[in-house]
Structures are given as structure tokens and as C-alpha cells.
């Protein structure tokens, strides 16, 4: 089973605006459509940037900015100050938009998108192909991926499930395949042997539940004896 990708999650019919759109019109569009951002495309359809709620709030806050004193101006880069002024007092989407847009390909997995959003502290990513906008994936789209059941596939054999569980355990430093044994019957995984802590028990259950084909998990492990800790 292939993991969900951007093409499966994205909203394809994205609301966009041209660069010359007035800021007031952009704000009205976001409010009326109930969206938090709008991509900016030029006449050729090329992606130029994105206007977010944060950009609009920054623009609104700029209207009440106090003039900078001569002392602070001595230490500020004129180019940076000019850019800041343009973004906080601009009248079009091109003036206030964020130009460095975070984008992904249609094949980018949901997990990769989630990591990207978390690391970049953003609420959505744009899906592009050859520089052309194909869709948008928001946090809400990722949440829907969590509650959407995966597509059905053929029944997996118990042996295949067992090997998949063991392979997953070997990837985790906290999972012990020497003292913890795995049995699978009719798709139900049962752990035998010893577990170090309750946290490990919980981790094993979640690990098994994430393996395709698993129908249930039984934990029959016992607390690891003290004399085994020295050799474990």
C-alpha cells in the first residue's frame, strides 16, 4: 500500500489572485471564502508568492507604526527598512505577499509534508509541477488523512505480517527483538517475552497497529527481570 501523497490530499481548485489585486480585495476574498491564504499568480500562471493572514495583519499593524527615530536609523540597513515599509504599507498583493513560498511535489508523502510544516512553522504548502500551481495542502487536509481509512488491499499472510512487525522493531532503538518475541495468528499480533517498561509496551502496541494487515494486538510480555538488565 502506497502512503498518501500530496496529490491525494490537496485541494486542486485553488483560489488565486493576480499581483495587482488591492489589499482590501484580498482581505475581503479571504473573509468571504473562509480561507487563510491565497497564492499570487502572474498572467502566465507562474507562482509569484502567497498572501496569508499574517501578511494582512502585518499590513494592518503597519498603519499605526510610529516613525523611526534618527538614532535607530543609524543601525538599520536602509534596504531592509525600505522592504519592511513596502510590506507594511503596500496597497497590492505584490507589495505585501510572501515571496519565499514553501512548495512540494505531487508525489511528496503526507509524513514529509507534516515534517515540513512543523519545521517551517507554516499552516499550508503549495503543490507545484514545473512551476505551475496544482493544489494546496493545509493542516486540515493532513488531519483528514489521519481519519480516512486506507484503501483496502488483499489479505496479508500471518508470516508476512510477523516479518513486517519485526522489521519495524529493528528500526527502533527501544524495541528489543531478542527478549521480545512476536507471534501472529489470523492477523492478530501477540508479543511474548519481556518488556523493559510500560512505555515500551505502549510503543510496541502502536508499532504493530501501524503495520498493514494487523487486526489486533495482544501484549503478553512480562516485566524484564533485574538480572537481565545487565546483559540487555
Task: Please report the domains of the chain, with CATH numbers, ordered by start residue.
Answer: 6-147 (3.10.580.10), 158-229 (3.30.1340.30)
Q: How far apart, in whole angstroms, are the C-alpha atoms of residue 164 and residue 162?
A: 5
The CA-atom distances, in angstroms, between 49 and each of 41, 45, 108, 177 are 7, 12, 20, 50
Q: Tally the residues of the chain.
A: 232
**Residue where the block lists cell 505584490:** 94
Q: How far apart, in whole angstroms, are the C-alpha atoms of residue 65 and residue 171?
A: 53
Query: Helix or strand or coil: residue 100?
Result: coil
pLDDT, tens digit only, all 232 positions of the chain: 567 889 989 988 899 999 999 999 999 999 998 889 999 999 999 999 999 999 999 888 765 544 555 555 555 666 666 766 776 788 999 999 999 999 999 999 999 999 999 999 999 999 999 889 999 999 988 887 776 655 555 678 899 999 999 999 999 999 988 889 999 999 999 999 998 899 999 999 999 999 988 999 999 999 888 766 555 5
The grid coordinates of residue 175 equal 524495541
Q: What is the pTM of this model?
A: 0.60
Phi, psi of 115 (to 5 degrees): -60, -40
Residue 10, classified by CB atoms within 10 Å of its CB into exposed (0-12), middle (13-18) or buried (19+), is buried
Contact 51, 17 (CB under 8 A): yes
The grid coordinates of residue 106 equal 505531487
Q: How far apart, in whole angstroms, are the C-alpha atoms of residue 36 and residue 83?
A: 23
Amino acid at each position: 500500500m502506497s502512503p498518501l501523497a500530496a496529490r491525494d490530499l490537496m485541494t486542486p481548485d485553488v483560489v488565486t489572485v493576480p499581483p495587482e489585486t488591492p489589499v482590501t480585495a484580498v482581505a475581503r476574498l479571504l473573509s468571504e471564502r473562509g480561507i487563510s491564504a491565497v497564492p499570487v499568480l502572474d498572467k502566465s500562471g507562474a507562482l509569484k508568492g502567497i498572501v496569508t493572514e499574517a501578511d494582512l495583519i502585518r499590513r494592518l499593524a503597519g498603519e499605526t507604526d510610529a516613525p523611526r527615530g534618527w538614532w535607530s536609523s543609524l543601525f538599520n540597513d536602509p534596504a531592509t527598512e525600505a522592504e519592511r515599509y513596502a510590506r507594511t504599507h503596500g496597497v497590492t498583493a505584490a507589495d505585501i505577499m510572501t515571496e519565499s513560498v514553501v512548495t512540494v511535489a505531487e508525489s511528496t508523502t503526507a509524513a514529509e509534508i507534516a515534517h515540513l510544516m512543523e519545521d517551517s512553522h507554516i499552516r499550508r504548502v503549495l503543490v507545484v509541477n514545473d512551476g505551475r500551481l496544482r493544489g494546496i495542502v493545509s493542516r486540515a487536509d493532513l488531519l483528514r488523512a489521519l481519519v480516512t481509512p486506507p484503501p483496502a488491499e488483499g489479505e496479508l499472510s500471518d508470516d508476512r505480517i510477523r516479518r513486517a512487525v519485526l522489521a519495524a522493531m529493528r528500526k527502533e532503538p527501544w524495541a528489543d527483538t531478542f527478549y521480545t518475541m512476536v507471534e501472529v495468528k489470523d492477523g492478530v499480533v501477540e508479543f511474548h517475552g519481556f518488556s523493559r517498561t510500560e512505555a515500551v509496551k505502549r510503543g510496541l502496541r502502536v508499532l504493530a497497529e501501524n503495520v498493514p494487515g494487523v487486526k489486533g494486538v495482544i501484549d503478553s510480555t512480562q516485566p524484564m527481570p533485574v538480572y537481565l538488565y545487565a546483559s540487555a
